[in-house]
Every structure is written in structure tokens, then in C-alpha cells.
Structure 1
Amino acid sequence: MIIAAGCSTKAPGSDKASDGDSNGKKDDKVKIGLSISTLNNPFFVSLKDGAQKAADAEEAELVVVDAQNDSAKQVSDVEDLIQRGIDVLLINPADSSAVSAAIESANKENIPVITVDRSAEGGEVVAHIASDNVAGGQMAGELILEQLGNKGKVVELEGIPGSSAARERGEGFHKAVDEVSDIEVVAKQAADFDRSKGLSVMENILQANKDIQAIFAHNDEMALGAIEALEAAGIKDVIVVGFDATDDAVKAVEDKKMAATVAQKPEEIGQKSVETALKVNAGDKVDEFIPVDLELVK
């Protein structure tokens, strides 16, 4: 990911009417495009809602498109947003590598780009707004170590291969567990951040590994799917840790079906994304990385 230091590549007001036209376009709302990887996930719905609330509060126009976890569709969606005359692009990559083409399209039109929740491997972006996924993965790993007494068999359910969230959450988890000799990660498989895939992948893993003690899932949807697989197999007392603190996951923690979930604040991520977009559009300097705090719900 290449980050343009400080401020927008787009001259503030470059597509507005000249100063001499007091009734011209310069009083129009700022138009912000938001390309989301998928709206078939409660986390991203909350992120969108936070962005919408911030846009409404600031009287900005927010145009949201859903890539449906399809990187080719996301590139096409961004082309459409560009044609619709957006001033700033917020993008939550479906794939951190494939999204580069979409970002480069915006770069060519001098539209500032801000990545949201997941980073990009190419193209020029002004800022990245996200939780610290590495720190979150490490928090999850350390909790599992604590509850297992540094000994046991663990399963890791990965998110979408190629997404920065999957890489970073896995990196943090392995920072915690790889140095402990009596912890064995007996299976590590992708379930694409999806509940139904979490269920089916976990069912397959359990056929060969019924004696596991813990599961770390890169998001709550996969964790909840894994819990269904455990219940169907009649396996109890497995420590399950998820990531995102969605409503369903928090309830599962309260019901003692899950040990914990790493709480991101998706509404706050969405809110900060719009606020940052408006600053960039106004020509203000912004930080290259704008973090949103994490906490462990257990």
C-alpha cells in the first residue's frame, strides 16, 4: 500500500463552480463514495450505518455500493462511483491485492482514496482507518494461552485469503501462540469470514480432530458457525474466540457458548471514515493511519 502523505491529491473545490458564481456548485453537498466488501455481514452493515450517520450530520451525500465479496465487481463499482462524480472514495477491499486496480482508477481522476478496515497493496491512498488487527489477534491468542494453561490443541479459522484482515489477525494470533511449545495448531483453514462456511469447514476439521481444546476464528461469523459444528458433534468445553463483537457473538459470550470476542467498533470506523473524507476534501492534513480502539469482550 502506498500512502500519500498528509493530504489529498485533489485540489479542494477543483470540481466546484468558480468563486464568482455565488449560486453555483460550490454550495453543493460533498459526495462521498463508499465501496464495501459485503453487506451480508453484520459488522459491515454497522460500519455503513456509522458512515451514514456521520454523512447525515455533516450534510454530505454518501453513495454506498456492495461488492458482494467479489473483487471484480468492486472494481466495476468504483468505476461507476467515479462516473457519478464522487469527491472522495472510501473503500473496504474485498481483496487487498485485487483492489489496487480500483484505487488506481480513482488516482487517475485525482479522487482521494481512503481505505477502511482493510488495507490495499497498491494504488495511492491518503489514509487508512481501522482497528489494529495484529494487536487484536494477539489478544485472542493470549487469552487462549491463559485459559489453556499454555498447553493444548487449537484450530484457526481464517478469513478471506488475500484480505489484510485475515493476514493481520492471523499474524497477531501466531505472535502469541507460536513461541509456546505445548500449543499445537492442528488445523488452519479458510472459511472466508462466513458463518455457513465456518460450520462446514469446522465439521470437516472435527472428523480428524475431535480432541481440540480451542478455536480462534478471524471473525464472529465463522466462530458462530464453528459453535454450531461443535454442538452438532456433541463436543463440549472448547474455548472459542471470535473477532468483531457482533450482537450475536456478544450474546453467545453472555450465554457462555463463546469464551470471548475481540471488540471492534464498526460504527466508529464508519464515522471516522466520513469525517476524514470531509477533512481531505477540504484540503486538511490527516494522519496516514487512524486507529480505532479494540477491547476484549469475555
Structure 2
Amino acid sequence: MVLSAVAAASFAAIPVLAAAEPVHLGVSIPAATHSFMGGINYWANQAKKDLEKEHKDLKITIKTAANAPEQANQLQDLSTVSKINALVIFPFESAALTKPVAQVKAKGTYVTVVDRGLTDTSAQDAYVAGDNTAFGKIPAEYIAKKLGGKGNVVALRGIPTTLDNERMDAFNSVLKNYPDIKLLDAKYANWNRDDAFKVTQDYLTRFKDIDAIWAADDDMAVGVLKAIEQAKRNDIKVIFGGAGAKGMVKTIIDGKDKRIDADVSYSPKFIYDAIKLTAEARLKGEKLPATTIIPSVLITKENAKDFYHPDSPF
């Protein structure tokens, strides 16, 4: 009896491992102001639906913002009113959201930043993004191969960001290996169809011989196609967009436009991946690696069906 009492006392002194703490995950994303962000919103809500069904100790609250100040205010609400203990944020702007995110993290909230990095990485626990180097490298390699290492190319960039710089630097690094390919110009078109239409009009006016156009976003590629059609130009052999929009992927599957037979993946589905990775790690009381890069790969007719999501806005 004495031994039993001692044993009981000993076991009582050992803390019982409690079940993982319930996770209330806040998701802060830009509003669906264009098709890629429409995709971000779609996949965020799909993650909420799937993960809350799978995990009874998980609650996900999604907030969408039309601008950086609104997103900053929503972060405060998520922290003080909703009392989240984990956050996945796709910042509207990097600099403007760094301090508001840092304030949320200071309250003990686990923070995963997606795609657009903050200006101070100490404000985050983890970073999840697509592979922007591959996003620039893959189109350059494909265009060079299609042109047989010789020709004139123009490029349409996104907005002036580190993300866009990574893509353009990678594109240029490949073209350096092809001295007979000339990059005639590379202008910002802001990941916007109308801006891409105007930039392409300028290119078509200034350059009488263009073999390939890299529109570093499938939305911009739509504007490029419209400008080419209006100008009745038939010299352009290759149009390469980016991110795997469903319309572009369907074009590749159907093979209806010989100028468009490849793309590079950078799906808004990475918000789903970021939410899932963060939620499941926190449910286990674990942390994510400091950086997780979602691979960007070449999309061709052979694998296009794997990247075709007809229910997504993007």
C-alpha cells in the first residue's frame, strides 16, 4: 500500500499532456478587385470550409480589405475583438502593414505572411510564397527554345516591388545566355489588362518586328492579345503569360492559339496551402519553417489539366 501511494504521488506530479489548444485563425487578404485576388478569396474560403470540417478545434475568420488602412484596422479587430491566436496575412502593401502586423504578433499571435513580404521580417513567424525566380526563369527558357535562340522580345512587368524585381532579374539572367535574343523593352503594366493593352500598343507602334511577348501575368496577357488583334499584327510567334489563370490554361488544353502553348504556375491556391500549413501546425503546437516556397512549374498541354480549376474566379 505504501508503494502504491508513492507511485500515485509520483504520477500525480507528472503534468498530463493537455490536448492542443483550440486555434482561432484570422485570415487577412485584399478584396477581390481583380481576377487573381478573386482567386485568393476563393481559395481562402475553400480552406475555411475544408479545414473547419476536418478539425473541430479550429475556427477561421476571414477579413477582406479594399486598401492598406482598412486592412490595418481589420487586423486590430481580429486581435482585440475576435481574439485570434494565429494569423495568415496577404499584405495589401508591405511597408504600410509591417507595424500593424508586428502589433498583432506582440500579443502572442502566431503570424504567417503570404506572398508580399513585410519590410521587417521580425514581425512574422513564417513566410509562404510562390517561386518568383522560377516565375521569371521558366518563361525566358521557354521563349528562347521556341525562338531557336534568336529573335526580338518585349516584356510587361507588374508593379515596382521586390517580387517583380526577382522575376525580371531571373528572366534577364537566362537571356544573357542567348546573345541573339534582344530584349527590346520591359515596361510596368501593373498586372492590369487595360494597362497591358496600352503598353502593348506602344510596343507595337515602336517596334515593327516582335517575335515574342512575355506578359508576366495572365491578366496582362489578355490586354496584350487585344492590342495585337486591334493592330492586326501577325509577326508575334509566342505570347507567354504567368500564374496559370483558368482561361489561359484552357487555351493551352484546347490548343486553339498556337502562340499560347505554355504558362508558368503561380496559383492563388497558395493562400489555401498557407492557411492549411499554419492551422495544422498550430493545432499540434508546432511552428512552420521560416520560409516555405511553393514551386512554380512549366504548364504545357501535357500537364495543364492538373492546373485547371474551372470553379475558381482566376
1:295 aligns to what?
Answer: 297
Residue 128 of structure 1: how far off its partner (Å): 1.7
Checking the alignment, whether the CA contact within 8 Å between 1:51 and 1:273 is kept in structure 2 is no
User: How do residues 185-200 of structure 1 correspond to structure 2 at under 5 angstroms?
Assistant: 185-200=183-198
**Structure 2 length-normalised TM:** 0.77
Question: In the alignment, is residue 90 of structure 1 matched against residue 96 of structure 2?
Answer: no
SS at match of 2:210: coil
Structure 1 residue 138: deviation in Å?
0.2
Distance in 2, matches of 1:270 and 1:63, equals: 14
* Residue of structure 2 equivalent to 1:156: 155
State which of 146, 153, 176 in structure 2 corresponds to 1:178.
Answer: 176
Partner residue of 2:228 out of 221, 230, 233: 230
Q: For 2:195 and 2:89, locate their aligned partners in 1 and report how far apart those are by CA, in whole Å.
A: 25
Structure richer in helix, relative to its length: 2
Q: What is the one-letter code of the residue matched to 1:34?
A: V
**Alignment counterpart, residue 280 of structure 1, candidates 256, 271, 282:** 282
Unaligned runs of 5+ in 2: 1-18, 53-57, 301-314
Distance in 2, Cα, partners of 1:178 & 1:103: 40
Query: Against the structure 1 CA distance between its residues 74 and 216, is the aligned structure 2 distance closer, same or farther, given a 3 Å change threshold?
Result: farther
Structure-to-structure mapping, 1:1-298, within 5 angstroms: 30-59=23-52, 60-68=58-66, 70-83=67-80, 84-123=82-121, 124-162=123-161, 164-238=162-236, 239-253=238-252, 254-256=255-257, 257-267=259-269, 269-278=270-279, 279-280=281-282, 282-298=284-300
Distance (Å, rounded) in 2 between the aligned partners of 1:188 and 1:67: 31
Q: d(CA) in 1 for partners of 2:69 and 2:203?
A: 31
- How far has the Cα of 1:27 moved from its partner? 10
Distance 1:57 1:205, change over 3 A: same
CA apart distance, 1:191: 1.3
Q: Is contact 2:98–2:119 with CA below 8 Å preserved after alignment?
A: yes
SS at match of 2:287: coil
Distance 1:221 1:66 in 2: 21
- Whose RCO is larger (CA < 8 A, sep 6+)? 1
Distance in structure 1 (CA, Å) of the matches to 2:224 and 2:140: 17
Would the aligned equivalents of 1:265 and 1:292 in 2 still touch at CA under 8 Å?
no
* 1:9-59 CA distance string (max 9 Å, x none): xxxxxxxxxxxxxxxxx9996332222234123333333333333323332
1:293 deviates by: 3.0
Q: How far off is 1:243 after superposition?
A: 1.0
Deviations 1:80-111 (A, max 9, x none): 33333222221223333433233223223232
Aligned-residue sequence identity (percent) comes to 27
Give the length in aligned residue pairs.
272
Quickly say closer, same or farther: Cα 1:72–1:187, change in 2 above 3 A: farther
